[in-house]
Structure 1
Amino acid sequence: MKIYKLLLGICLIIVVGTNTSCANNNKETVSSQKPNIVIIYTDDQGYGDVSALNPNAKFKTPNIDKIANEGLVFTDGHSSDAVCSPSRYTLLTGRYSWRTSLKKGVLLADGPCLIEKDRMTIASMLKEKGYNTAMVGKWHLQMQFEGEKGKGRNWSLPFREGPVEHGFDYYFGIAASMNFGILTYLENDRVLDPPVLYTKKKMDVTPRTYRMTPPYKKEIAKGHVEVAPSFNDELVLETLAEKAVAYINKSAQEAQKGKPFFLYLPLTSPHLPHCTHPDFQGRSNCGNYGDFMEETDYRVGQVLDALQKNGLEENTLVIFSSDNGAESNYVYQRDTFQHFSCMNFKGGKRDIYEGGHRVPFLMRWPKVIKAGSQVHMPVCQSDYLATIADIVGAVIPDNAAEDSYSLYPLMKHNDKDYNANRAVIHHSFTGHLAIRQGKWKLNMLRGSGGSLEPKLIEPKPGEALYELYDIENDPGETTNLYFQYPDVVKKLKQRITEIIKEGRSTEGEPQQFVKENWSQINWVKW
């Protein structure tokens, strides 16, 4: 009997030990699995358009707030540019757009893609690391369609230089902002419904916004853009969210088995037109803009719910940000509803001032990021590529991500491994630059370089050439300290010149860039 009990005890120890070992191995496997990555990118959303960042907001964003509250808020986070296309280039490539031929302004819907043929993107890098990659939403980096507008397009042919040629396995979305036309849905490299009709901005449908809504015309006229018969602007957000959710549902099983996915979801809101779905019209205390933002938040919630329902929430890095600050109608929202889209930052979209590029900059990754975290150092969307490469163990060559610093140490509260003295470069609609290093910001112009008046001041003899601000103590950029701190001006001017000339901000071999047609950097001597 004693021998029996002894043998039984030995067997139990072996079984328990084996099960414990298996459990530990499974835990290590889950722990070592690369995360799914979702980047949600809104369009013209100001820092104050998230209720978690603006307690006095006149609308609520509970789903975006969830990302902030359960993750990390970069309170000094910036888009690389104060307008659309340049920021999208930088987000995907980790390289400032002004190193390309696009020195100012934005792109169209139809034309050569701004991303160079063999340039690394987040998508191409992750694809090399075994990820499924998808984009759902607005591209606005140009793609090439066959033919010319109004001159016999061939919509049956595939378009070229779109997302699937830059690392994405799957693409569904629209070509650009709605006012730029080719209003139809695209899938991979195909047009789903030929945009054979024409329309223009309709100013008499919804108060204080134009609309791109039926009826459409058969004949082209001045100011008209191409549109598909089935296109309806107020259904775009709903359509994109449904496609994103479907992709997550489809990819979940492979993700759970060790093949993660990357989903880039650039939404079309709250960019004009404020084409809110009927279910959300009239719901907020901030007019059409507030309604549109509440719908935007709901669509974000649909994506978060899909991650949760598929058991992917714990090991999915969700990044949320906007391509630039709020459109100039932030003034109307402020004066009419007392809603501050730009908080107390100066300016908005297009401007070199903080309101043009200080944006919501949020990350959630429950497995790694401690809920309720904050980082107050200046960071930029150019940093996404290096951050993700650091997470998945990818090596970045010298000719890629030249302006990208890894934020992974900050996500793990390991500040000593982050270069806190790095510089961030800002870029206005007119193509003027500013440099931020620590608390100091030097705008290499006088004026906004965008929409806010005065847009550009020509200094008179003896006046300040540039604008220097102590952002830590003067985030509203009210007091130009150019004459009070000449040594700071000299140091920052030298550093931005180095960053321009070397073709990179980060360490590495100097890289080539486009130098032509660049009058805005008149202080640089080649």
Structure 2
Amino acid sequence: MDDMGIGDCRVYNPESKVFLPNLEKIAEQGMRFTDAHSPSAVCAPTRYSVMTGNYPWRGRLENGTWLFNMPSQVLPGQKTIGQLMKDAGYRTAFIGKVHLGGKVISKTTGMPKFDRKGGFEDFDFSKRVEDTPASFGFDYAYELPQGIQGSPYIALENGMLVGGPHNLREWKKGTYGKSVIEADGFGSADWDSSRAGPILTERAISFLDRHFSENSKTAIRKPFFMHYCSQSCHVPHTPPEEMDGKQVRDSSLDAHLDMMVEADLTLGKIITRLRRAGELQNTLIIFTSDNGGLSRGAPGKHRRGHNSNAGLRGSKGQIYEGGHRVPFIVGWGNGQKDSPVKPGSMSDSLIGLQDIFATLAEITLQTIDRAHGLDSQSFLGILLGKKEAIGRQSLLVQANNGTFQGQQSKKMFRNGTWKLIVTKKLEPVELYDLASDPLENSNQIEEVSQKTRVKRMALEVKEVMQSKRSTVALRIGRQKSPAIHSAELFAPRATLLTELKKIEGGKAVRWGKKYKVTGKSPMNLSFIPQDKLHWDASAYKLIGIPVQNWTDGLTTIEGRLNNGKLTSWSHHAVGFAVAPSWEKTTLGFPFPMVEERYRGPKPFNGQLARPNGHRIHWRRFFPEDLREITMVITSTSGLVDLLID
């Protein structure tokens, strides 16, 4: 979200004047964080931090890159969240507002044009705009370079100007029907700020449609990652009349809140599409905002009685809590008690939005190189309710240059519940204990008893600012991925539809097309064909079952493919898999497609190996008569927590 405060949602502020049912449902079925912060009190620096896992000042400019044709805020060699997820095998998309700069070619010089001399006519929009999300590891990108608040009033699709160069014109500040132009500048002739949100929504749904369609064609369930950056609820506040037959404009107290209704409907459409594809319970949804909420008037005199920051001091642009404490709501699972994220849970752990980077790296089992995600710390353990999870102890937040909205170029440093505010020169000026003073009413900077604390925290601020990285690089204990993944060698030719027959030592929950099994080690379970007596696997060389270990320790799986006439010593194929903590692996069952000719005594016909002195007879396996898959699961931790695909 853009400019949404912690007071704009009823899960944080019961007195909120706007009803956001889809967001509230995610909070009801997932986890809400009460001490989450944007790295900056304004948007452009925060967007860089989310994209890279770095504090804003590690980019090109300390205060962010705001114009679409300025050199990119993302420096060469800095890994983006798009590249991170693409490396993990995800199909990736970026949709929405950018504010990270870009490289546009000049018609006159043929070189990148970083000014606006000569008007928009000198920008060569027949060529792809580089150094935008389309260049940052996203397979699909639909971008609003400046959002809806500034020129150019355009959209880029995979780096190319939507509508083409011939469709550009100069715009003057003013109102055009339901659209508002905030400042003079150029843009597309058909630009309509009230239609930006519905168009972004349509592009998001179209991406999901293509993704699910592509998966069905190839029979490979490739995962997806979508980074959706809403234009709502930044000025100009121009909500659409309706979305999918539901009224948006004038649906709440004013246009500002109407745009939150619009964003909630977008969220609802995405959720509906995921549910229809059977993937909602497998999808991690993170909802947050780029900075604190708008002021909506002087303290105690908020417009229509709605306080976007729930009584916190300050608002967007300010270094006080109202400027950077943001809603942060996470949904993962089907809302049942066995979901990865406990339904209706809350965490008061300290997190920064740049921590999304390391969290996704841990979820996708990627070690972060020391040169990337420099200020990102994973909160996965907190999200999963792990008792041993350790959250952040410190965090840095900045407010930008200038006096607009009280920014005054200050920084905030948290250590536990204590908050130190420093000037641009890093001089301490304010100190608050948020545990006893969450509204920041009592400045303790002059207290003699706090002299040592102030000195120590001021030193920590300088250490972070001078550091090459402020967090420990995430390392996953795993082997290096093979150069060629098994999926490239063995693209699935068919899928065996199963149903659980029985489980001993635990319980199983369906997650769409997957099973999540939990319990004590050892665990026994078996699967049988869904809606048929047996499977016919005679046309295939290998049956593979993807699994992932979701607990500590080493998990081993011993499996059998059983025929109908089963004894302890006959008519089955054996498979085995080992999965270290959080590792993905495959329980594989190779079997011969052509039976070898047996030349021994007739009494032993049908055996794959000659009998030894102990009379152990291994009768051949019939892949055309596969009746059951059994597994014995053991774990060195004594607990089983396994995801079976």
TM-score band w.r.t. shorter chain: 0.7 to 0.9
1:232 matched residue in structure 2:
192
Residue aligned with 1:88, SS:
helix
Distance 1:84 1:333, change over 3 A: farther
Q: Which of 1 and 2 has greater Rg?
A: 2
1:8-407 equivalence runs, <5 A: 42-104=1-63, 107-147=66-106, 148=116, 149-193=119-163, 194=165, 196-202=168-174, 211-212=180-181, 224-253=184-213, 257-279=220-242, 280=247, 282-329=249-296, 331=298, 335-366=302-333, 367-407=339-379
Residue 106 of structure 1 and its aligned partner are, at CA, apart by 5.0
Under a length normalisation based on structure 1, what TM-score does the superposition of the two structures give?
A: 0.79
Residue 328 of structure 1 and its aligned partner are, at CA, apart by 3.6
The answer to whether the Cα contact below 8 Å between 2:64 and 2:73 also exists between their aligned partners in 1 is: no
1:216 matched residue in structure 2:
none
The answer to whether the Cα contact below 8 Å between 1:117 and 1:166 also exists between their aligned partners in 2 is: no
Give the distance between the partners of 1:298 and 1:142, measured in 2 at CA.
Answer: 29
The answer to whether the Cα contact below 8 Å between 1:51 and 1:62 also exists between their aligned partners in 2 is: no
Q: Which residue among 392, 398, 415 is the counterpart of 1:437?
A: 415
Give the distance between the partners of 1:260 and 1:299, measured in 2 at CA.
Answer: 21
Deviations 1:199-233 (A, max 9, x none): 13326977xxx9129xxxxxxxxx52111112111
Give the distance between the partners of 1:204 and 1:334, measured in 2 at CA.
Answer: 31
Residue 151 of structure 1 and its aligned partner are, at CA, apart by 4.5
The answer to whether the Cα contact below 8 Å between 1:58 and 1:284 also exists between their aligned partners in 2 is: no
1:493 matched residue in structure 2:
458
Distance 1:276 1:382, change over 3 A: same
Residue 265 of structure 1 and its aligned partner are, at CA, apart by 0.4
Amino acid at match of 2:468: G
Give the distance between the partners of 1:399 and 1:72, measured in 2 at CA.
Answer: 31
Give the distance between the partners of 2:300 and 2:262, measured in 1 at CA.
Answer: 17
Distance 1:85 1:201, change over 3 A: same
Amino acid at match of 1:202: G
Relative to total residues, which structure has the larger strand share, 1 or 2?
2
Give the distance between the partners of 2:251 and 2:7, measured in 1 at CA.
Answer: 15
The answer to whether the Cα contact below 8 Å between 2:296 and 2:302 also exists between their aligned partners in 1 is: no
Return structure 1 stretches of 4+ with deviation > 4 angstroms.
203-206, 253-256, 330-334
Residue 324 of structure 1 and its aligned partner are, at CA, apart by 0.5
The answer to whether the Cα contact below 8 Å between 2:68 and 2:100 also exists between their aligned partners in 1 is: yes
The share of aligned pairs that are identical, in percent, is 30
- Gaps of at least 5 residues in structure 2 are 107-115, 334-338, 402-408, 475-645
Distance 1:212 1:336, change over 3 A: same
Residue 150 of structure 1 and its aligned partner are, at CA, apart by 3.8
Q: Which residue among 424, 427, 446 is the counterpart of 2:398?
A: 427
Aligned length: 440
Give the distance between the partners of 2:52 and 2:300, measured in 1 at CA.
Answer: 34
Amino acid at match of 1:278: E
Amino acid at match of 2:151: G
The answer to whether the Cα contact below 8 Å between 1:59 and 1:284 also exists between their aligned partners in 2 is: no
Amino acid at match of 2:58: R
Residue 162 of structure 1 and its aligned partner are, at CA, apart by 1.2
1:506 matched residue in structure 2:
471
Distance 1:106 1:356, change over 3 A: farther
The answer to whether the Cα contact below 8 Å between 2:382 and 2:391 also exists between their aligned partners in 1 is: no
Deviations 1:430-478 (A, max 9, x none): 2421101111000113xxx9xxxxxxxx99xxxx941001112211111
1:17 matched residue in structure 2:
none
Residue 295 of structure 1 and its aligned partner are, at CA, apart by 1.3
The answer to whether the Cα contact below 8 Å between 2:56 and 2:64 also exists between their aligned partners in 1 is: no
Under a length normalisation based on structure 2, what TM-score does the superposition of the two structures give?
A: 0.65
Residue 105 of structure 1 and its aligned partner are, at CA, apart by 5.8
The answer to whether the Cα contact below 8 Å between 1:174 and 1:185 also exists between their aligned partners in 2 is: yes
Give the distance between the partners of 2:193 and 2:205, measured in 1 at CA.
Answer: 20
C-alpha RMSD over aligned residues = 2.4
Give the distance between the partners of 1:334 and 1:105, measured in 2 at CA.
Answer: 32
The answer to whether the Cα contact below 8 Å between 2:420 and 2:428 also exists between their aligned partners in 1 is: no
Amino acid at match of 1:382: Q
Residue 334 of structure 1 and its aligned partner are, at CA, apart by 5.2
Give the distance between the partners of 1:465 and 1:162, measured in 2 at CA.
Answer: 37
Distance 1:278 1:468, change over 3 A: same
Residue 415 of structure 1 and its aligned partner are, at CA, apart by 4.2
Give the distance between the partners of 1:344 and 1:317, measured in 2 at CA.
Answer: 30
Residue 417 of structure 1 and its aligned partner are, at CA, apart by 2.9
Pick 1 or 2: higher relative contact order, CA cutoff 8 A, min separation 6.
1
Give the distance between the partners of 2:161 and 2:416, measured in 1 at CA.
Answer: 47
Distance 1:331 1:302, change over 3 A: farther
Give the distance between the partners of 1:121 and 1:201, measured in 2 at CA.
Answer: 35
Distance 1:282 1:186, change over 3 A: closer
The answer to whether the Cα contact below 8 Å between 2:149 and 2:234 also exists between their aligned partners in 1 is: no
1:482 matched residue in structure 2:
445
Give the distance between the partners of 2:248 and 2:269, measured in 1 at CA.
Answer: 18
Residue aligned with 1:289, SS:
helix
Amino acid at match of 2:270: V
Give the distance between the partners of 1:402 and 1:54, measured in 2 at CA.
Answer: 33
Give the distance between the partners of 1:282 and 1:425, measured in 2 at CA.
Answer: 38
Residue aligned with 2:281, SS:
coil
Give the distance between the partners of 2:318 and 2:302, measured in 1 at CA.
Answer: 20
The answer to which of 486-495 and 353-362 deviates more is 486-495
The answer to whether the Cα contact below 8 Å between 2:180 and 2:192 also exists between their aligned partners in 1 is: no
- Gaps of at least 5 residues in structure 1 are 1-41, 214-222, 450-457, 510-526
Give the distance between the partners of 1:271 and 1:151, measured in 2 at CA.
Answer: 28
2:563 matched residue in structure 1:
none
Deviations 1:324-375 (A, max 9, x none): 0123435499533111101111111111111111011111111411111111
Relative to total residues, which structure has the larger helix share, 1 or 2?
1
